[in-house]
Amino acid sequence: MSRLDYTFTSESVSEGHPDKVCDRISDSVLDALLAEEPEARVACETFATTNRVVIGGEVGLSDQSKLAEYMESMPDIVRGAIKDIGYEQDKFHWETVEITNLLHEQSAHIAQGVDEADGKDEGAGDQGIMFGYATNETEALMPAPIQYSHAILRRLAEVRKNGTEPALGPDAKAQLSVIYRGGQPVGVSSLVLSTQHLDESLSSADVRAIVEPYIRETLPDGWLSDATEWWINPTGKFVIGGPDGDAGLTGRKIIVDTYGGAAPHGGGAFSGKDPTKVDRSAAYAARYLAKNVVAAGLADKCTIQLSYAIGVAKPLSIYANTHGTSKVDEAAIERAVSGAMDLTPRGIRTHLGLNKPIYARTAAYGHFGREPDADGGFSWERTDLVDALTKAV
């Protein structure tokens, strides 16, 4: 019997966090190449520190002789991402940061396993396991602690960027400890927020006065009480932020990107990877399937696991776990999700329309729990499989 009364904690980080700066740059590079060639292969990693950004990895194009031409645009892409985030610090400024581009052509040995050839289906870009999760505790069918941690930081970013709160800086972290009763979230026992501020004279109390109204408007009514502990900038001043304060790397916030620790993670990061990489596309597919299972009312919670081998098209296994909340047999759910969607790499990309420049927007505030965009972004958040799954079981 699973526990129904407990406290669970998740954290989020803002788009200005050093690791998220790197995720944004990597996904901006990916978007630029997909905009030019929808079948482009990209595995872009980014490192950022004081006054420097380094990008590296692999790029595969249908005409590799054009690679040098595309590489010329990379510094502008990096600077554009940093500018949009909002960094204009003395030691990390979008105009003056030094950029080193070490991207090179894709390994031929990887390409031969992934590409279609001689009747062989397109294979997975790597081996691995991917998880998707959904729960009915929020409207977005996401765990409440991570969903509202994201929402707080997204709201603070909005008022920073539109000029309402010019004292706030781009770098921030939020953490919520959510109280569950009867398996449902009912309140917040503690709230931690550390946010960069551009005015050195501001105290922790001053920063709290700025951010508290936005936190209160973001959280559900009644979740904050006199017993809630507030920890706003608990170390005191937070003026030096971003890669100048701490180095950043692509792919170091995989739990922030997914379910805040409320569900398993296969270990693979998302940002900078084109959708032939099942680390990304199959994790999106698993979330899509799990969300549709819960949206169909087949279970209150659902975890879907998929596994792949490099160069092999079909998943090696499909596993469903409904954590004791299923209304039907879990084996029937496994059969239903298998039949509802082609889970080969090309099948996932086609079904979810992933060969588009839709990834820079995923780099902060979570890859899941977002509204689908009209241009195909966050297509994995649709619930258009409900009828098919219901009929199948």
pLDDT beneath 70: ranges in the chain:
1, 107-121
**Binding-site annotation: residue ranges for Mg(2+):** 19
The catalytic residues are: 17, 19-20, 45, 58, 173, 238, 246-247, 252-253, 273, 277, 279
* Gap between the Cα atoms of 12 and 23, Å rounded: 14
pLDDT score recorded for residue 142: 98
Counting every residue, how long is the chain? 393
Only one residue has tokens 């659902």, namely 302
pLDDT score recorded for residue 69: 83
* Gap between the Cα atoms of 187 and 191, Å rounded: 11
Segment 288-323, tens digit of pLDDT? 999 999 999 999 999 999 999 998 999 999 999 999
Give the three-class secondary structure for 302. strand
The structure tokens listed for 326 are 């299923």
**Binding-site annotation: residue ranges for K(+):** 45
The structure tokens listed for 200 are 């050195």
Tell me the pairing of strands 168-181 and 92-93.
unpaired
pLDDT score recorded for residue 348: 97
pLDDT score recorded for residue 116: 58
Q: Where are the alpha helices (DSSP H) in 135-277?
A: 144-161, 204-218, 254-257
Comparing C-alpha atoms, which of 218, 172, 220 is closest to residue 196? 172
pLDDT score recorded for residue 216: 98
> Global pTM?
0.95
Which class is 128-136+278-392 in CATH?
alpha beta
* Gap between the Cα atoms of 326 and 324, Å rounded: 6
pLDDT score recorded for residue 111: 52
Domain segments of the chain: what residues?
Answer: 6-12+144-241, 128-136+278-392
DSSP string, 323-339: TT--SS-HHHHHHHHHH
How crowded is the C-beta side of 318, counted as CA atoms within 13 Å? 23
**Binding-site annotation: residue ranges for ATP:** 17, 171-173, 237-238, 246, 252-253, 269, 273
pLDDT score recorded for residue 64: 81
Q: Where are the alpha helices (DSSP H) in the chain?
A: 18-36, 67-71, 74-85, 108-114, 144-161, 204-218, 254-257, 278-295, 330-340, 345-352, 386-392
* Gap between the Cα atoms of 251 and 268, Å rounded: 8
CATH among 3.10.129.10, 3.30.1300.10, 3.40.309.10, 3.30.300.10 for 6-12+144-241: 3.30.300.10
**Binding-site annotation: residue ranges:** 17, 19, 45, 58, 106, 171-173, 237-238, 246, 252-253, 269, 273, 277
pLDDT score recorded for residue 1: 53
